[in-house]
Amino acid sequence: MIQKKTIAVGMSGGVDSSVSALLLKQQGYNVIGLFMKNWEDSNGQCSAKQDFEDVLRVCEKINIPYYTLNFSKEYKEEVFASFLKDCQKGLTPNPDILCNKEIKFKLLLEKALDLGADFLATGHYAKTNEDHLLLKAKDLSKDQTYFLYTLNQDILKKVLFPIGNLLKTEVRKIAEENDLCTFNKKDSTGICFIGERNFKTFLNEYIPFTPGNFETLEGQILGKHEGVAFYTIGQRKGLKIGGKGDAWFVVGKDFDRNVVILAQGATHPALYADSLTAEEITWVSQMPKLPLICSAKIRYRQEDQPCVIEKIEDGIIYVNFLKPQRAITPRQSIVFYDNNICLGGAIIKEPSPSYFALNKILGF
């Protein structure tokens, strides 16, 4: 008799992981649910309690065992501490990518294997193939490979993405047809530990307000800001700078002087750059031969942008874009693609202004 494979499903309390567990159960696998608690908040802002209740109801509905795992300590040490360190430097990190790397596909995967599972499955919109490469999901509007680029082939050998070949509408329909309580649950957005709170309010619990000047590129003082850490490149809302002409946007930050630099207009040249450098490079498979013509995203949901990876020197990768990119943000990720194959990515170090932008800024 052939023994059934056992698959542990990371269950968040959302519709995607619920349907992932259901589909695997219907396919005849031994399925166990794993619920992670990654954040403990005395203010009760994180939705962990409601999410766990939904996981419990789904597991009982499809008749699978479940475990609760508390990774709060590890999350704070491996993810939140790094997030806070970058914010204190006035940078804009992406903790979701680090969470996937250090928590979901490391600690959770290890726990799944310890429990006797052959694979870990999650509700991410992504796919893999027989060569254990990372591929975009069928539903490109929901594709999450941008957040998964740090996973290499050794990890992907042990990972399944059951809904990667489904549209989101199909996932919700399956959940409703099978009477899962999560079928119409709103998708989670943002960062778990911030929850429904204002980002600035949350961050102020850890980083004190340090007022400084808003300045133009020419050094003219426009007003006061509450702290470099609370603003990001390309930001428009919350600046409270009025006056004539176009809206003001954040185009730079001078952390040493505690200055946030602003310029008017959504298409101001200072918002654009046609090249960048990045660090902390990871590849899903082996490093490709360079120079490489491919495409990249510098933020989630951005359309693929044609680019050339020119070279890697001393751990720094040099990337040129066919067209200038808007609001390239240090400590966000750049993720590389060959059509639907995710090649890997890196953490943005700094943008390099295009000749066009430099000429406009300098008045030539």
Cis omega before residue 95 (within 30°)? Answer: no
Question: Is 99 among the residues known to form the active site?
Answer: yes
Rg (CA), the chain: 22
CA angle, 302 as apex, 298 and 303 as ends, to 5°?
115
Whether residue 301 contacts residue 145, with contact meaning beta carbons closer than 8 Å, is answered with no
CA distances from 299 to 35, 72, 92, 326 (A): 28, 27, 12, 10
Whether residue 4 contacts residue 30, with contact meaning beta carbons closer than 8 Å, is answered with yes
The structure tokens listed for 161 are 């993405």
Environment class of residue 158 by beta-carbon count within 10 Å: exposed (0-12), middle (13-18) or buried (19+)? middle
The residues near 164 (Cβ < 8 Å, ≥ 6 apart) are 124, 125, 126, 127, 128, 135, 137, 138
What distance separates the 2 farthest-apart alpha carbons in the chain?
78
The CA distance from 43 to 257, in Å, is 34
The CA distance from 319 to 323, in Å, is 12
- Indicate which residue of 192, 294, 307, 342 is catalytic: 192
Whether residue 324 contacts residue 316, with contact meaning beta carbons closer than 8 Å, is answered with no
The structure tokens listed for 162 are 């059951």
- Indicate which residue of 46, 87, 99, 294 is catalytic: 99
Question: Is 192 among the residues known to form the active site?
Answer: yes
Whether residue 96 contacts residue 147, with contact meaning beta carbons closer than 8 Å, is answered with yes
3-state secondary structure of 58: helix
Q: What is the dihedral of CA 97, 107, 168, 49, to 10 degrees?
A: -100
Would you give the distance in Å from CA 191 to the centre of its chain? 9
Catalytic machinery residues: 99, 192
